[in-house]
């Protein structure tokens, strides 16, 4: 029924009540029925119109009273008339209050709907869904975006088993244990896990949750789920690009050392040739001198091993493969790195001295990458010395404990230092003070050290000395952290 028909019906009821009140002989307050007109009108007319209708009903009540009883009336008739007018007024007041409350409620519902729309839109844009769950019952509530992230149907009621059903098999037990134990620990939840979708795609999710309330033996948590697949894939692509760039710079660095490497290989090969000729001469004697031949053969073996070691170091440094972290002795790593640049340092008349700790200096890392960092720092120091000094070129490489859990390797040179305005930029990509430099060497060193959970720095010291060094966790610290992570995972 349209509102116009309802308005006409309300007016018709008012007219009928007026006629009944005028012409009937009922000894009751018939005008009280105008309350029906007020209740019908409250949803059909504005507040001003409702006040007008209220006044009209009161006027009709008074007119009907005068027509029926005249200006003089008994106490009983006046009482009925007063009750009718009071009922109309009170009904109008209550109707106005009810209308105001409904309007306020309608506005709040609209605001709530608008807020929910904004929240849903923000969740969809940020790939973040809201969740709620109880433990140990594992009853769960998910927003629409959370269901979309898991690619569940909107009608599906989420459960822990349903959630674990699409979780990566390697992450299932860890996620289940964490959700089951979180109530006892009363801690916040922060976990990253993977999903395996129906088509084989892998999604990376981050979940945060905090305790909301405790009811009996159950804890309720509220939190958020974020799809970080794009971020993780971007990080993996970045790591691959960094690995490619690091490999290119290693090969480039070996190209710069090609002459020195050729010399290092040529020396043992020349010795092998000399000793082999000497051995033949000793064999040609009458009688053959087998003792001297044996010594010549032993020298040939030693020189061949020396050449093999040079080739192995070059091959290791130039290889392209996955990062392989293992226990390494930092002093041995330094010694092997210096062997690769020994000829270059000799040609450029640079004196290198080393200072190491007497105690073991073990670290946990990738040998090739850390060797690349050491060689890069030594070559940078050498190039700085060649550009600023004609003689007295010195490099000091120091290995020491920064504290009980960290080791430091510092390369110092007396090349005059780095301009103060450039110190903060030396590790920035493509920043260089050399006319022929690319500005990627130290930037890659920074990426490698940070990937090993370390720090790298550069600073000017007194008397024209400059120090560039890195700091890494000791093997004992990394091993303890790795075992702790394994324990938490299990």
- What pLDDT is recorded for position 208? 81
What is d(CA 406, CA 440) in angstroms, rounded to the nearest whole number? Answer: 26
Task: State whether residue 404 is helix, strand or coil.
Answer: coil
* pLDDT of 400 strictly over 80: yes
Using an 8 Å Cβ cutoff, are 296 and 276 in contact?
A: yes
pLDDT digits (tens, 9 = 90+) for 136-151: 776 777 788 888 888 8
Q: Compute CA distances 8 → 34, 45, 154, 265, 489, whole Å.
A: 15, 12, 46, 111, 75
Per-chain mean pLDDT for the chain: 78
pLDDT digits (tens, 9 = 90+) for 233-256: 888 887 777 667 666 766 666 666
CATH class of the region 127-227: alpha beta
Lowest mean pLDDT among 181-190, 293-302, 342-351: 181-190
| For residues 398-420, average pLDDT | 88
Cα angle value 58/43/30 (rounded, 5°): 30
Question: Domain 232-322 adopts which CATH fold?
Answer: Helix Hairpins (1.10.287)
pLDDT digits (tens, 9 = 90+) for 349-366: 999 999 987 677 889 888
Q: How confident is the model at residue 128 (pLDDT cuts 50, 70, 90)?
A: confident
What is d(CA 445, CA 112) in angstroms, rounded to the nearest whole number? Answer: 53
Q: Is 449 exposed, middle or buried (0-12, 13-18, 19+ CB in 10 A)?
A: buried
Domain coordinates in residue numbering, the chain: 3-117, 127-227, 232-322, 325-490
| For residues 217-232, average pLDDT | 81
β-strands 128-135, 140-142 pairing:
antiparallel
Q: How confident is the model at residue 156 (pLDDT cuts 50, 70, 90)?
A: confident
- What pLDDT is recorded for position 398? 94
What whole-number percentage of the chain has pLDDT above 90? 8
Half-sphere exposure of 424 (CA within 13 A, CB side): 2
- What pLDDT is recorded for position 489? 47
Domain at 325-490: CATH code: 3.30.565.10
| For residues 62-73, average pLDDT | 69
């Amino acid at each position: 029924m349209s509102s116009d028909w309802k308005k006409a019906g309300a007016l018709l009821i008012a007219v009928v009540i007026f006629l009944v009140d005028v012409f009937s002989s009922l000894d009751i307050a018939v005008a009280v029925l105008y309350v029906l007109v007020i209740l019908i009108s409250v949803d059909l007319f504005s507040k001003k119109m409702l006040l007008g209708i209220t006044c009209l009903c009161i006027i009709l009540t008074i007119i009907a009273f005068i027509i029926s009883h005249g200006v003089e009336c008994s106490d009983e008739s006046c009482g009925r008339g007063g009750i009718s007018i009071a009922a109309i007024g009170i009904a109008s007041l209550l109707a106005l209050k009810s209308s105001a409350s409904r309007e306020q409620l309608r506005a709040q519902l609209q605001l709530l709907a608008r807020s929910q729309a904004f929240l849903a839109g923000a969740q969809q844009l940020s790939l973040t869904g809201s969740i709620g769950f109880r433990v140990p019952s594992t009853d769960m509530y998910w927003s629409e975006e959370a269901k979309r992230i898991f690619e569940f149907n909107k009608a599906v009621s989420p459960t822990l088993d349903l959630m674990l059903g699409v979780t990566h098999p390697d992450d299932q037990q860890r996620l289940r244990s964490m959700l089951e134990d979180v109530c006892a620990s009363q801690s916040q939840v922060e976990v990253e896990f993977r999903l395996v979708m129906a088509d084989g795609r892998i999604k990376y999710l981050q979940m945060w949750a905090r305790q909301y309330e405790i009811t009996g033996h159950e804890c309720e948590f509220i939190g958020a789920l974020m799809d970080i697949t794009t971020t993780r894939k971007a990080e993996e692509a970045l790591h691959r690009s960094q690995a490619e760039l690091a490999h290119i710079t290693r090969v480039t660095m070996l190209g710069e050392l090609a002459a020195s490497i050729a010399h290092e290989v040529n020396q043992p090969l020349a010795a092998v040739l000399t000793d082999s000729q000497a051995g033949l001469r000793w064999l040609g004697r009458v009688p053959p001198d087998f003792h001297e031949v044996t010594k010549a053969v032993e020298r040939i073996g030693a020189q061949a091993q020396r050449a093999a070691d040079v080739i192995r170091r070059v091959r290791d440094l130039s290889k392209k493969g996955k990062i392989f972290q293992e226990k390494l002795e930092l002093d041995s790593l330094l010694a092997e790195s210096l062997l690769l640049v020994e000829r270059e340092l000799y040609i450029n008349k640079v004196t290198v001295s080393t200072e190491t700790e007497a105690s073991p200096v073990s670290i946990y890392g990738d040998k090739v990458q850390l060797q690349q960092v050491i060689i890069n720092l030594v070559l940078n120091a050498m190039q700085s010395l060649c550009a600023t000094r004609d003689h007295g070129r010195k490099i000091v490489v120091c290995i020491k404990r920064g504290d009980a859990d960290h080791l430091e390797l510092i390369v110092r040179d007396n090349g005059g230092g780095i301009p103060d305005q450039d110190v903060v930029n030396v590790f920035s990509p493509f920043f260089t003070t050399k006319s022929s430099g690319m500005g990627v060497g130290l930037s890659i060193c920074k990426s490698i050290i940070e990937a090993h959970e370390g720090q790298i720095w550069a600073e000017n010291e007194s008397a024209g000395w400059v120090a560039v060094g890195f700091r890494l966790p000791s093997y004992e610290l990394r091993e303890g952290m790795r075992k702790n992570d394994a324990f938490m995972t299990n």
